[in-house]
A and B are shown apart, each in its own frame.
Chain A
Amino acid sequence: MSSRETILQRLRNRTGGELTVPECDFSVLVRDDWSTKERIERFEKMIESVHGEVHHCTEDMWMDRLAELLNTRGARNLLIPKQHEIGQALRDAGRDDLPELLIYDEPIESWQGHLFNEVDASITSTRGGIAETGSLILWPNDDEPRLMSLVPPVHIAVLKASELYTTFHEAMKAQNWAAGMPTNALLISGPSKTADIEQTLAYGVHGPKELIVLMIE
């Protein structure tokens, strides 16, 4: 008998007999409907409490703010999506106050060393955010691959204020995650951190040292 069959048989032939299935009432997870303003405030408060940064922007001026943020950090380059409107807009703008724009358009194997050692910042879109915990929802794809939000020391994420959900529970219901998930989905709530050395917080242990949210209102 295979290990699979052995295990399943042991579980099925339980000596204690059939177990009763309890009811699960998820209403405790539901929050009163917060207004957009409340959601924005809560999101900002939560993500700032874990060392994230939020910059309020409009459709017209987010690129100015981005250029400013990158310049103060002395970023030599910025990794952008190829297809997404964020990437398109940045390339079309042809601005000279932005650093060199890089595109992740070949498999990681061909430029791993470069990504790990040479890229200073990246910008990605989001699939919305979660106010209660101050989290960004990312579904990486071929346009914005998984490592884009992980390897560069500065990760900049664009979030539309209108796409802020109150809770994780609400977000997954609204976006119908039960229907199917991508190969990789993420909630990101702040820059990479550790408290493994005597409970002292340190940022950027493996992932980005900084997480900057451009909130488009």
Chain B
Amino acid sequence: MSETAEHTGHHIDVKQFHPRAQAAIHNPKIRKNFRSAMDGLMSKRKTAFEGWDLETLRDLGANVRLRALANLPDLLEQLEEKLTENGIKVHWAVDADEACRIVRDICKARDAKTVIKGKSMVSEEMELNHYLEEQGIEALESDLGEYIVQLADETPSHIIMPAIHKNTGEISQLLHDKTGTDLSNDVEYLTASARQQLREKFMNADVGVSGVNFAVAETGTLCLVENEGNGRMTTTVPPCHIAVTGIEKVVPSMEDVSALLALLTRSATGQHITTYFNMISGPRKAEELDGPEEVHLVLVDNGRSAIYQDDELLDTLRCIRCGACMNHCPVYTRVGGHAYGTTYPGPIGKILMPHLIGLDEGRHLPSASSLCGACGEVCPVKIPIPDLLVRLRQESVDGDKLHPAKVRGHGAKRSSMEAMIWKGWAWMHASAGIYRFGTGAASKFRALQPSKAGAWTDYRTAPKLAAKTLHQRMKERGQ
């Protein structure tokens, strides 16, 4: 993992979550952009599932994902075999850095100067754009939201809608400054102008890089979900297509895909289906007239096989990246995607990122939650996100040698003072005499109790100790 640090120089400090969250909370524009977007997404999702037996469908989604994970190594081998048979070259990467190097080597072998990209969260995880640029290869995002974010030199604030933090005016100004587009609040005009700019890029790109939504082992098929058509352009126009994906994305058959697709688009944007569902099973055949002559798949581990070891944490890998957990999260809605400072924000980020960056670096993530449970209720594959948050909280303060922790950087948040207080607390409660003496003394000296109790009393009145203990009152009542 240490190698990953090679090109993370520009990385936002994840540990600075609190100041960023504070700033976002006091930024009315951010609040408004996210609030209205998330409200819209929640109601669209609800409408899209009308007439469905949603619980049963979610059960199916969960089982389909669990079945795939239970057979993961076999499925990956089957996928590799099938893809190879179909003419797609398969590569394996232990971490993000190796994945970047594989992409670079494919580009260099073709003497590629420009790469056009379809939306891929794994490539964000790899920080592929910065890496390629360091290697002298231009990498341009073609999803409109990603294109905007790239022009602004920012990172996506939502996994499905990367530029959701910006309003039309800001985007117009950005396009004007960076590409010379006329200032306008007409979204159609702005979109048409981006279309024109990007069409040129598609035609001249040497390589197309995309993500993968589902990889089907039985037929050797890479499935991509999208609305814009940039994904189809990316995977069809340039002479070489490189798909990058996490190792957990493989499923046994197209039938599994039909269940997950029904859940994915409705959960994500409240669409019954996206405009394009693109299924790629091979490069251009001799008689065909378009399509890439070379197709590659890079299977990226980057911490996933470590998550795979533990029965409880394994559920993290069920995720199909719909973003419903963010759309429904009261914390995400208020602080926005950038406050987290991580590739994946919101609830899924809080349970996934600690594995990728360690609990030391991501120490604030599991506790940036009110544990309200909304994320778990809407998850299309029933990931028990709140339970996993609690588990990661335990691991972040863990010091118990009897239950060896699994997550890198565990115990990073452990404070010896806090541990001592709880030890004392436990000791006091284990002995009736000491307990009565302690509570009696606390009641007697209640006047000395401070009226402030840290952040707790910023928005609340401090709780007051009663004049008499429960034991004393019961005694007085003669019971």
Contact = CB atoms under 8 A, between A and B. Distances in A.
Interface of A: 2-4, 6-8, 10-12, 14-16, 19-26, 28-29, 46, 50, 104-108, 112-113, 116, 132-135, 141-142, 145-147, 150, 167-169, 172-173, 177-178, 180-200, 202-208
Given A24-B63, A26-B255, A180-B219, A202 B188 contact: yes
Contacts of A205: 144, 191, 194-195, 228-230
B396 interface: no
A185 to B, nearest CB: 4
Contacts of A195: 161, 227, 269
Scoring A106, A191, A198 by chain B CB atoms within 10 A of each residue's CB, the highest score goes to: A198
Interface residues of B, number: 99
A90 B76 CA distance: 47
A189 B225 CA distance: 12
A164 to B, nearest CB: 15
Nearest to A110: B289
B198 A206 contact: yes
Contacts of B412: none
Contacts of B76: 7-8, 11
B63 A23 contact: yes
A177 B253 CA distance: 10
A46 B432 CA distance: 69
Contacts of A178: 218-219, 253-255
B309 interface: yes
A181 B168 contact: no
A24 B228 CA distance: 32
Given A196-B161, A197-B163, A147 B236 contact: yes
A196 B144 contact: yes
Nearest to A108: B290
A19 B144 contact: no
A148 to B, nearest CB: 9
A183 B40 contact: no
Given A180-B219, A186-B279, A188-B275, A204 B190 contact: no
A32 B140 CA distance: 46
B275 A183 contact: no
B288 A142 contact: yes
Contacts of A197: 144, 148, 163, 168, 171, 187, 190-191
Interface string B258-281: 110110000001011111111111
Interface of B: 33, 36-37, 40, 52-53, 56-57, 60, 63-64, 66-67, 69-73, 76-77, 86, 92-94, 98, 142-145, 148, 161-164, 166-168, 171, 187-188, 190-192, 194-195, 198-199, 203, 218-221, 227-230, 232-233, 236-237, 247, 253-256, 258-259, 261-262, 269, 271-285, 287-291, 299, 301, 305-306, 308-311, 314
6 contacts: A22-B70, A168-B273, A178-B255, A184-B281, A197-B168, A202-B187
A3 B93 contact: yes
Given A141-B288, A205-B195, A11 B308 contact: yes
Nearest to B291: A146
Contact of B276 (A46, A112, A187): A187
Contact of B277 (A8, A24, A186): A186
B285 A183 contact: yes
A22 B315 CA distance: 14
B309 A14 contact: yes
Contacts of B233: 150, 206-207
Contacts of B232: 146, 150, 186, 206-207
Contact of B195 (A46, A146, A204): A204
A142 B227 CA distance: 25
